[in-house]
């Protein structure tokens, strides 16, 4: 098997969620889970996330820390037309490039607003990009996302972000997607902790996560086996299932 | 007014969400919003969040970066009995202190498990803390949270975290809570961008956020005024409401 002889290149991405509304608790973030799921299909692993305030220094610090140690960096939020939308300026400053008016963005927005009151001064803010950027199509609401180097600057509103991700599908180089297999037991995870540990140890290249819960008045846990190698994941799944059943625990396929 | 003459001390906190299940998209995080809301009542601002993998180096880097520049640091996740629960070890290593068995934690868990099969080896993992730690009561599921210095190590399961926060309520020094006032308009935010900018500028100590949406086939936005000074927030609210109405936009109290 290829994966056994040569270690695979793992492609990673980071996400910076930009917005006071997340840090104040007003808005429940949805972009972490949305991006994570999408990235996995592209064969890219979401390695780390930061949530930062609408502040130039906070955005810049996170951008420069994460862009160099990941293959890709995504940001969500702060690209609208209002005064609190400072993502473009902050990223340009972090990269040491000027902000320019992007001709293609202007053309897109002029078309988009032609029947919607025209491209006002506020709306024209959304034609600004760091110099050297290209655009990410926005099929939902006009103003495009922005790509500069390995940075992808996306909307904050999750369904607009979804449209931008859709436009990027299949365009980023990645490795094999991580597959996951889930099983569940009505058991306290502490009762099977040693068994989980040894199952993980016996299958190099597999990570097993244990996620306990309390539901319907009973204690249970789901066990998630993750690996870029589907054969290995399945082998580990069979092994762990057999071990759990040998220990007297009924195993529920696909989790509880 | 006190706030006008002397700048107020702002108390900040950071959160590290620890867990592969968040980064894989399997689990939707709830602890960011939960902690943010709770902190605000304590007069503490959630300044930044990082989501990191179940890896010692990733946890350690985040802990040492965030604990020094915030008054408080919270972590969620990774304190259960299984092999993937490495938060205690990673934080101890980051702080350069050994992991010890905490006597009080052992006593609590021995009591908790007396009718539940006893304190097994796996469960005894949850009696381990960095040296010098105290405990945070867990009314929900036995294993306590851990406080060491300004770091609060909490459960990952949101309702267990909620119980721990409840136990901490009123015990942390903070400043004035940030109050927020929300109004909404059925208007594209770009149409009122200049008006929002000048309203924020005219009220030093106030931040105005603009949160657009598309609902019921129409475009709208909520505007959130935030300040630790409730009088100032109300003044700004009246000013912004008057300006929006003068511009012909009906203002909906408490937002849409």
Q: Tell me which residue range forms the domain holding A49.
A: 2-168
Mean pLDDT of A145-169: 96
**Which two structure tokens, joined as six digits, stand for B212?**
């657009």
pLDDT on residue B7: 64
Tell me which chain A residues have a C-beta less than 8 angstroms from the C-beta of B236: none
Angstrom distance (rounded) from CA B23 to CA A192: 24
Question: Average pLDDT by consecutive 10-residue portion of chain B (256 residues)?
Answer: 60 97 94 96 96 97 98 96 95 98 96 91 94 95 94 95 94 91 93 94 93 86 93 96 95 91
Closest CB to B84: pick one of A27, A82, A209: A209
Mutate to test the interface with A, among B22, B24, B31, B142 (most CBs of A within 10 A): B24
Closest CB to A189: pick one of B24, B37, B81: B81
Mean pLDDT of A153-164: 95
Q: Does B202 lie in the same domain as B141?
A: no
B116–chain A Cβ distance below 8 A for any pair: yes
Per-residue confidence band for A217, with pLDDT thresholds at 50, 70 and 90: confident
The domain total for chain B is 2
Whether A83 and B141 lie within 8 Å, measured CB to CB: no
- Quick one: angle between helices B31-41 and B158-168, nearest 10? 10
CATH number of the CATH domain containing B225: 3.30.70.260
A3–chain B Cβ distance below 8 A for any pair: no
What Å distances lie between residue B155 and A99, A132, B83, B171, CA to CA? 43, 44, 15, 19
Per-residue confidence band for A85, with pLDDT thresholds at 50, 70 and 90: very high
Per-residue confidence band for A5, with pLDDT thresholds at 50, 70 and 90: very low
Mean pLDDT of A173-191: 92
Q: Which of B168, B188, B208 finishes a domain?
A: B168
Q: Which of A123, A142, A168 finishes a domain?
A: A168
Closest by CA position to A39, among listed A232, A176, A211, A134: A176
pLDDT on residue B237: 96
B36 falls within a domain: yes
B174 falls within a domain: no
Q: Does B232 lie in the same domain as B143?
A: no
Q: Does A127 lie in the same domain as A52?
A: yes
Mutate to test the interface with B, among A13, A16, A24 (most CBs of B within 10 A): A24
Q: Does B136 lie in the same domain as B247?
A: no
A24–chain B Cβ distance below 8 A for any pair: yes
pLDDT on residue B4: 47
Closest CB to A122: pick one of B36, B190, B211: B190
pLDDT on residue A4: 47
B123–chain A Cβ distance below 8 A for any pair: yes
Q: Does A106 lie in the same domain as A79?
A: yes
Closest by CA position to A227, among listed A202, A254, A208, A253: A208
Per-residue confidence band for A3, with pLDDT thresholds at 50, 70 and 90: very low
B6 falls within a domain: yes
Mean pLDDT of A60-66: 98
Q: Running DSSP on this structure, what letter comes out for residue A235?
A: H
B161–chain A Cβ distance below 8 A for any pair: no
Q: Chain A, 68-97: which have a CB under 8 Å from a chain B CB? A: 80-84
Mean pLDDT of A151-155: 97
Question: What number of residues does chain A have?
Answer: 256
CATH number of the CATH domain containing B86: 3.40.980.10
Chain B residue with minimal CA distance to A179?
B24
Asked if residue A35 lies in contact with residue A41, where contact means CB atoms within 8 angstroms, the answer is no
pLDDT on residue A213: 86
**Which two structure tokens, joined as six digits, stand for B138?**
């867990």
Chain B residue with minimal CA distance to A198?
B83
Q: Does A200 lie in the same domain as A117?
A: no
**Which two structure tokens, joined as six digits, stand for B180?**
């927020």
B138 falls within a domain: yes
pLDDT on residue B216: 81
Higher pLDDT, A48 or B212: A48
Question: Which tens digits make up the pLDDT trace of A86-144?
Answer: 999 999 999 999 999 999 999 999 999 999 889 999 999 999 999 999 999 998 888 99
A61 falls within a domain: yes
pLDDT on residue A6: 57
Q: Which of B141, B168, B195 finishes a domain?
A: B168
pLDDT on residue B1: 41
Give the three-class secondary structure for A195: helix
A233 falls within a domain: yes
Tell me which chain B residues have a C-beta less than 8 angstroms from the C-beta of A81: 189-190, 193
Looking at every residue in chain A, the average pLDDT score rounds to: 93
Mutate to test the interface with A, among B14, B22, B25, B158 (most CBs of A within 10 A): B25
pLDDT on residue B5: 46
pLDDT on residue A140: 85
């Amino acid at each position: 098997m290829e994966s056994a002889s040569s270690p695979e290149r793992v492609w990673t991405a980071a996400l910076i969620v930009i917005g006071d509304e997340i840090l104040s608790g007003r808005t429940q973030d949805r972009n972490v889970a949305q991006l994570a799921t999408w990235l996995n299909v592209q064969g890219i692993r979401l390695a780390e996330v930061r949530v930062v305030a609408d502040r130039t220094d906070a955005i810049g610090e996170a951008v420069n820390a994460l862009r160099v140690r990941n293959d890709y960096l995504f940001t969500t939020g702060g690209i609208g037309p209002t005064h609190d939308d400072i993502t473009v300026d902050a990223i340009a400053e972090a990269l040491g490039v000027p902000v320019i008016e992007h001709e293609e963005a202007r053309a897109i927005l002029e078309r988009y607003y032609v029947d919607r009151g025209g491209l006002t001064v506020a709306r024209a803010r959304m034609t600004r990009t760091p110099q050297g950027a290209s655009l990410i199509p926005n099929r939902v609401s006009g103003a495009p996302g922005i790509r500069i180097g390995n940075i992808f600057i996306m909307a904050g509103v999750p369904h607009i972000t979804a449209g931008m991700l859709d436009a990027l599908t299949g365009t980023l180089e990645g490795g094999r997607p991580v597959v996951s297999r889930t099983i569940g037991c009505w058991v306290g995870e502490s009762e099977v902790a040693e068994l989980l540990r040894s199952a993980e140890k016996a299958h190099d290249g597999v990570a097993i996560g244990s996620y306990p819960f309390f539901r319907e008045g009973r204690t249970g846990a789901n066990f998630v086996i993750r690996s870029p190698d589907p054969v290995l994941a399945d082998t580990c799944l069979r092994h762990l299932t057999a071990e759990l059943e040998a220990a007297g625990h009924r195993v529920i396929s696909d989790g509880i």
